[in-house]
Amino acid sequence: MSQLHSAIGTFELVVDTGDDDEGMPDTIAGRRTLFVAAGTVNAHVDLAGLAEKDLTRRGVPQRSGRRTGRCQR
C-alpha cells in the first residue's frame, strides 16, 4: 500500500451574477454571468516514503504465530 485515500468527492458550484456583483472582478462586474465549476477531489497521504522504523504496533493479539494489527506513524 503506497497511498492512504482519506477522502474522495465530486463537487459542483454555480455562480450566477446579476445585480449583486459585489466582490466580483472588474472583467465581469456589471454583466450577467453564469459560471459553473465542477471538479473531483482525491485527498490522500503518500506512504511510499515510510520505512519499517517509522511504524509502531500496539494492542495486537497474536494469531497463528503471526502478529496483525494497526500501524501508526
At residue 63, φ and ψ (nearest 5 deg) are: -130, 130
Nearest to residue 5, comparing CAs of 40, 46, 38, 49? 46
Number of domains present in the structure of the chain? 1
- Expressed as residue numbers, the domain containing 16 is 3-72
pLDDT in tens, 6-48: 888 999 999 887 766 677 777 777 778 888 999 999 888 888 8
Q: In the structure grid, which three cell numbers stand for residue 63, read together?
A: 494469531
* Helix, strand or coil, per DSSP, at residue 53: helix
User: Is pLDDT of 61 > 70?
Assistant: no
